Structure formats: structure tokens, C-alpha cells
Chain A
């Protein structure tokens, strides 16, 4: 009897011991990098965990930055993980939620407020002021501004993404249309006229011709992607200044919607709803069957093999405001607030954001516009297409705006806008009906986002 009990107790003890070892083993594995040996002269060996997403070519460049960094800071080892872009934010959420922050990771401007309010990313201002690696005025101001809150900086740009308007030069020449001026935007009326001449049916008639067959279009004047450029140039916006109101019911906003609606239904210079679903504008651009298309710097490399010449121009402007406007995107690099090595983590962010060699390589490989202002001239002079690369620089400095959904606590209202406005583009609503129907719904969602903000910052 006693024997049996002992056996039982023994088995239980073994079980518990195994379990405990298993748990403990996991924990030890986690911070293996911290366990380096130290002597009086060198700093303790540390590991910085870096979580990001990147194209394969970008990853190679980052690898070089890491090697350079590890040479300059021999006590640091970088443990980098590149995730598929679509999984990235969910991974960050779960990592932060579980309290296992990476030391350095990407932050989209739209998530900045959430992360700051919940104390997940570190304020970088004092490090920036003290650092010898770079001066703040070396970086595009518009690239820094969106990572600022209450005067403090919380991230540095990984890149800035200006969307300029591209034109297929071969199609322009074939249609006998003058090449657009890269320094002066054309107005919407001129744009429509040009787009008509560049929209061609199967019989070779263009959209300005009375014989034009709108059901058999083989080449389009433009892609339909227009939202920011149209709304902002009309002097309208989706949101008011302090992001409390949806401001779609202004005459200016409706005019912008009407302009886009007419591009499709009145002038037939952009693909129809079904045609756009079947073949994206991007594919049409590659095929050379659309004459004007939005282009961002990261498209360059993929466009080098195109068998036509192309260039950039400012987005066409509203005839009254004559102000060209477009979306200037960005992605930030931030330091986790719980990092044990804030200084090293900050230094890594600085290398990734402003290391001159790396920035030069990125621009030469056609991955991005350099973050450093002083490289802009060199970038503009690069041999490869597009023509007029300075339009991207102008966009960073002048035309570009931050996307509206980045300014709110979550993008639900924006997602709903995009989902519902399709009904307008399909012709199921008039502009007036659309705004009347959806303004209150979007307002409700914006209120919900603002409620989240309030709860979070409490």
C-alpha cells in the first residue's frame, strides 16, 4: 500500500518537474542574447529585436545596415524578423498585448495615437536632441510631422510615399497630345479634354469623336483612382480640423465626387466598374493601355522593364483653386517603450531612417525617395525613369497631405466610406443621395473611433 502511494507521488513529482522545466526552458530561450559575458572594458553584449516587413531587395539593404551597425556598436546583435506585410499589424498587436515588445518596429501613422496613449512606444525627442548621428533638419519635415504628438517625436520615417500622377509618354505622342508640364498642374477641364483624346475604342475613335463606342474601349485616358487629389483640390475634406465631424456635405466635397462620377459616366475616360474589377489599373498601366496613372516611388523598380517611356506630373487641379493636392504616405520606425536598451534601439532607428549609404542604395534600386533632404538633388538626377522625378520631391514639400484615416483612432469610417462610395461609382446613387445617406452613418463610426480615443487616453 505504502509502496503504491510512493510510486504515485513519484510519478506526479516527475510530471510536475517536467512541466516546470518545459516552462522555464522557454523563458531562458527568450532572452538568450542578454546573457553575454562582460568585462571591465566592454559593454554588456545585448540583442535588439527588430520586427518589420520588407521586399526582398529591401531586406538585403537592411542586412547591410545591420552589419554596419554591429560594426559600429560591437556589443549589439540585431535579431531581425521580416513578416508578410498583411500579417504585420496583427503580429505587433499580439506581441504588444502579450507584453513581449520587439525593441524596434514599424508603426503606421494611423496607429501612432493608439500606441502613444497606451504607452507602447517611446518618446524619442531627447535622444534626437542628444544624438550625433544626424540633425533633425536633414529629414523631410512632412516626414517627421506625422510622428509628432504634443510636440514630442515618437518615430522616424522609414520612408515617405508621395503619390504623383504618371503619364505614358508613348501614348501621349501617339495621340498627338502635348506632354504635360511637370511644374504647373493642368486644370480639371484641360485634363478631361486630354483624357478624352487618349481614350480609344476598338475602331480607333477617341472619346471626343461622335462615333466613339463606349462599350468597346481598348485604351483608357486615365485610371479611376482619384479620391484624395479631387477632394483636396476642390478645397474639401472628409474630416474637419479636429477630426470630430465628417464634412462630406459641403458643396466643394460634392463637386469633387461629381467630377469623379463624370469621369466614368459622363466622359467614359476611366474603366467602368466591371472593367476595373476584371483588370486593375496597375495591370493596365503595365500593359500600356491606360495613359495616366498614380505612381509612387516604390513602383519604379517594377516599371524599369516597361517598353514605353513615362514621366510624372502634378495631379490636375480644380479650375478655381488651381491647387494640386495628393496623398503623401509614410511608415515610421519606433522604439518599444519597454526596451531594456533605449539608446541602442534609438541608434538603430536613426541608422534605418537616415543612414546615407543605405538611403542612396534604396533610391538607386528604385525603392524609395531618400529620407534625407540633401540627397534629393542626386535622386532627381538619377538616370532611370520616370522623367520629372522632382515632382515627387515637390509632392513631399508642397502637394502632399496626410491621409484622413491616419488622423482618426481607427479606420472603420474610412473603410465604410470606400465600401459604400462604390455604389455611387456604379451609378446606384446620385452624389446628393449618397452624401445624404452615408454622412450620418460615417459620422456614427467616427464618433465611435473618437470614443475609443477618449477611453484610451483616460
Chain B
């Protein structure tokens, strides 16, 4: 008798729970899942946004795979991923340093987080000036130590590193704050035990800090990859044509250009699907590799 009552209560709770999540499910279906499926259909058509869409099967996908621009944009995007490990290494060092309670830490924390809450457009325009060939701050600094000026944004070899540097600078705030939170969760007793055993700072970092930060590193890598694969605004503002020889164009820039500049919405949808698929595969891969290096 008692068990039956409990299961009835259970069932009732389930329904109530369902009502609570129903609006969210509805929103997901209407504004996310629906458009997602529809965009897959569009990717199989020659839709130009206004006209009627003719079904053309996988033609867009085939054309895309044969298009050198698509692959160049892919290659550029892959290059941008290099910024992730560099950024994480810097922010880990910063976090460890900040965690030691240095004076003026609040100001420093504020400064490092400031880019995160600033408008990306404003930041990009600012950096565009810093990268200016003749008057930019960066070339000015390089000149002062005897290095020749670099035409950062109009040189095939330098435009991607320039954009990566901006990305790292902009991302430091978030990853440092996350690392700082993770550091504060590491039990002090571990360090005390190590100290009793005579471990120095580097040994403690290598055997305690770094391993215990791996879950946070994992999280930051996964989100970093997803964000970097979708980099767009910096590129559109700094290099409106996709850089010299298309050397800065990212995959989202390519999609935007095809869809909204050249009216090939069907083709652009196909590229979006491929991008989504790639992000999905990379994320699965990240999770699969997790067991090998992330401290559980």
C-alpha cells in the first residue's frame, strides 16, 4: 500500500516537473531544433533568401569540398586554435601568481577582467590601431628595441598571429578567474604534506597544482575550441576582405560572406552544417581523451 502511494506521488511529481520544463522544451523545439532541421534542408537547396528554393541534393556539399577557399578558411581556423594552449599556459601562471596574495591584487584582477566585459567591436578597433604599420603602438615598441616594423594586418604571415594575440589577451580574464577558483579548491593539506616531504615550489606545482587543475583545463579547452571555431567579429573588422590572400578568413567569416555577400544561403547553410559537425566531432574526441589526462 505504502509503495503504491509513493509511486503515485512520484508520477504526479513527474508531471509537475514536466510542466515546469515544458516552456524550455517548447523554446528549444521552436527556436533551436526546428531551425536546425530546416537549415539542413536549406543546405540541400540553392536558396538565395528571397526566391524559391530548388532541391539540389548534396551539390552544395560537393562544391564546398572542392572549393579551395573553404579549405583555406578551415586551415586558418585550425591555426587560430593554437592560441588556446598559449592562452591557458599564461592564465595558469597568472592565476598561480595571483593566488599567492600579492599586494594590489584587486586592481590587477580588475584590469585583467576588463577586456572580457568590454565591447568586442571597440576592442578590435583599438587593436587595429595598435597594429597600424606606421603609427601603431606595437611597431613603436618593436622599433624601440631595434626590430623593424611589421605590417601586421596586411601581411600573410603575420595577420593570423596578430589575431591570435588579440584573442589571447581578450580571453585571459575568463580563464584566469576560472583557474583562480579551481586553485582555491585545492586542499591546503596537500601542500603541507608535500612541504614536510621537502618539496620545492616547482615540485609542488608539477605534482599537486597542475594535476588538480586538469578538470578546469579540460573545461577551458572544450569551451575554447568551440568559441575559437566560431571566431568572426575580429576578422570582419580588422580584415574586411578576409586578409591578404584570404589568409585571415575564418570558417564563419566564409559562411557569412557566401550567405550575405554572395546570396548563396543554401551553400552557406551547408558550410554551417559541416562546421557544426566538426565542432561536434572534436568535442567528442576531447571527451574521449579526457580519461587519459584529466585528474578524476
Residues of A within 8 A of B (CB): 4, 8, 11-12, 15, 19, 89-90, 93-94, 96-97, 114-115, 117-118, 120, 273-275, 277-279, 409-412, 415, 418-420, 422-423, 449, 452, 455-456
Chain A contacts of B48 at CB under 8 A? 114, 118, 452, 455-456
* Interface contact B263-A455, CB-CB below 8 Å: no
* Interface contact A412-B262, CB-CB below 8 Å: yes
Query: CA separation between A114 and B149, bound complex, in Å?
Result: 45
Asked, given contacts A4-B12, A275-B134, whether A118 binds B245 with beta carbons under 8 Å apart, the answer is no
* Interface contact A419-B246, CB-CB below 8 Å: yes
Chain A contacts of B15 at CB under 8 A? 8
Chain B contacts of A94 at CB under 8 A? 49
Question: Could you give, for residues 256-292 of chain B, a 1 whenever the CB lies within 8 Å of some chain A CB and a 0 otherwise?
Answer: 0000111111000000000000000000000000000
* Interface contact A277-B154, CB-CB below 8 Å: yes
| Closest residue of B by beta carbon distance from A415 | B241
Query: CA separation between A371 and B12, bound complex, in Å?
Result: 73
Query: CA separation between A420 and B243, bound complex, in Å?
Result: 11
Chain A contacts of B50 at CB under 8 A? 93, 96-97, 114-115, 118, 120
Q: Let me know if B10 is at the binding interface, CB within 8 A.
A: no
* Interface contact A89-B260, CB-CB below 8 Å: yes
Chain A contacts of B22 at CB under 8 A? 15
* Interface contact A418-B241, CB-CB below 8 Å: yes
Chain B, range 148-179, C-beta contacts under 8 Å to A: 149, 151, 153-154
Given contact pairs A118-B48, A452-B46, a sample of 10 additional A-B residue pairs in the complex whose CB atoms are under 8 Å apart: A12-B19, A90-B260, A115-B50, A118-B51, A120-B50, A277-B151, A410-B263, A412-B262, A418-B241, A455-B54
Chain A nearest CB, measured from B295 CB (Å): 45
Query: CA separation between A158 and B12, bound complex, in Å?
Result: 65
Chain A contacts of B262 at CB under 8 A? 410-412, 449
Question: Could you give, for residues 107-135 of chain B, a 1 whenever the CB lies within 8 Å of some chain A CB and a 0 otherwise?
Answer: 00000000000000000000000001111
* Interface contact A279-B134, CB-CB below 8 Å: yes
* Interface contact A278-B261, CB-CB below 8 Å: no
Chain B nearest CB, measured from A377 CB (Å): 40
Question: Could you give, for residues 222-258 of chain B, a 1 whenever the CB lies within 8 Å of some chain A CB and a 0 otherwise?
Answer: 0000000000000000000110111000000000000
24 contacts between A and B (CB under 8 A): A4-B12, A8-B15, A11-B19, A89-B260, A93-B49, A93-B263, A94-B49, A96-B49, A96-B50, A97-B50, A97-B265, A117-B51, A118-B48, A118-B50, A273-B154, A278-B132, A278-B133, A278-B135, A279-B135, A410-B261, A412-B261, A419-B246, A420-B245, A456-B48
Q: Let me know if B103 is at the binding interface, CB within 8 A.
A: no
Chain A contacts of B19 at CB under 8 A? 8, 11-12, 15
Contact residues of A: prevailing secondary structure: helix
Chain A contacts of B245 at CB under 8 A? 419-420, 423
Q: Let me know if B86 is at the binding interface, CB within 8 A.
A: no
| Closest residue of A by beta carbon distance from B236 | A86
Asked, given contacts A4-B12, A279-B134, A419-B241, whether A114 binds B151 with beta carbons under 8 Å apart, the answer is no
- Give the total of B residues in contact with A, Cβ under 8 Å: 31
| Closest residue of B by beta carbon distance from A422 | B244
* Interface contact B151-A274, CB-CB below 8 Å: yes
Chain B contacts of A12 at CB under 8 A? 19
Residues of B within 8 A of A (CB): 12, 15, 19, 22-23, 26, 46, 48-51, 54, 132-135, 149, 151, 153-154, 241-242, 244-246, 260-265
Query: CA separation between A96 and B15, bound complex, in Å?
Result: 42
Query: CA separation between A415 and B26, bound complex, in Å?
Result: 42
Query: CA separation between A338 and B134, bound complex, in Å?
Result: 52
Chain B contacts of A115 at CB under 8 A? 50
Contact residues of B: prevailing secondary structure: loop
| Closest residue of B by beta carbon distance from A14 | B19
Query: CA separation between A180 and B202, bound complex, in Å?
Result: 75
Chain A nearest CB, measured from B105 CB (Å): 39
Query: CA separation between A15 and B15, bound complex, in Å?
Result: 14
Chain A nearest CB, measured from B162 CB (Å): 13
Chain A contacts of B135 at CB under 8 A? 278-279
Chain B contacts of A8 at CB under 8 A? 15, 19
Chain B contacts of A278 at CB under 8 A? 132-135, 151
Query: CA separation between A122 and B246, bound complex, in Å?
Result: 38
Chain B nearest CB, measured from A287 CB (Å): 12
Query: CA separation between A118 and B12, bound complex, in Å?
Result: 54
Query: CA separation between A11 and B22, bound complex, in Å?
Result: 11
Chain B contacts of A423 at CB under 8 A? 244-245
Query: CA separation between A11 and B23, bound complex, in Å?
Result: 12
Chain A contacts of B154 at CB under 8 A? 273-274, 277
Chain B nearest CB, measured from A77 CB (Å): 27
Asked, given contacts A12-B19, A422-B244, whether A415 binds B51 with beta carbons under 8 Å apart, the answer is no
| Closest residue of A by beta carbon distance from B263 | A410
| Closest residue of B by beta carbon distance from A18 | B23
Query: CA separation between A277 and B23, bound complex, in Å?
Result: 52
* Interface contact B133-A277, CB-CB below 8 Å: yes
| Closest residue of B by beta carbon distance from A419 | B241
Chain A nearest CB, measured from B168 CB (Å): 24
| Closest residue of A by beta carbon distance from B154 | A277
Chain B contacts of A411 at CB under 8 A? 261-262
Query: CA separation between A412 and B257, bound complex, in Å?
Result: 9
Asked, given contacts A15-B23, A89-B260, whether A455 binds B46 with beta carbons under 8 Å apart, the answer is yes
Query: CA separation between A423 and B243, bound complex, in Å?
Result: 12
Chain B nearest CB, measured from A318 CB (Å): 29
Query: CA separation between A412 and B244, bound complex, in Å?
Result: 16
> Sorted from nearest, which 9 A-B pairs have the closest CB atoms?
A278-B134, A118-B50, A278-B133, A97-B49, A118-B51, A410-B262, A277-B154, A412-B262, A90-B260
Query: CA separation between A275 and B133, bound complex, in Å?
Result: 8
Chain A nearest CB, measured from B2 CB (Å): 18
Query: CA separation between A411 and B264, bound complex, in Å?
Result: 12
Chain A contacts of B241 at CB under 8 A? 415, 418-419
| Closest residue of A by beta carbon distance from B68 | A441
Chain A nearest CB, measured from B142 CB (Å): 14
Query: CA separation between A338 and B264, bound complex, in Å?
Result: 23
Query: CA separation between A412 and B151, bound complex, in Å?
Result: 26
Query: CA separation between A8 and B22, bound complex, in Å?
Result: 13
| Closest residue of B by beta carbon distance from A445 | B262
Query: CA separation between A258 and B133, bound complex, in Å?
Result: 27
Chain A nearest CB, measured from B233 CB (Å): 12
Chain B nearest CB, measured from A197 CB (Å): 25
| Closest residue of A by beta carbon distance from B11 | A4
Query: CA separation between A114 and B264, bound complex, in Å?
Result: 12
| Partner among B134, B149, B264 whose Cβ is within 8 Å of the Cβ of A452 | B264
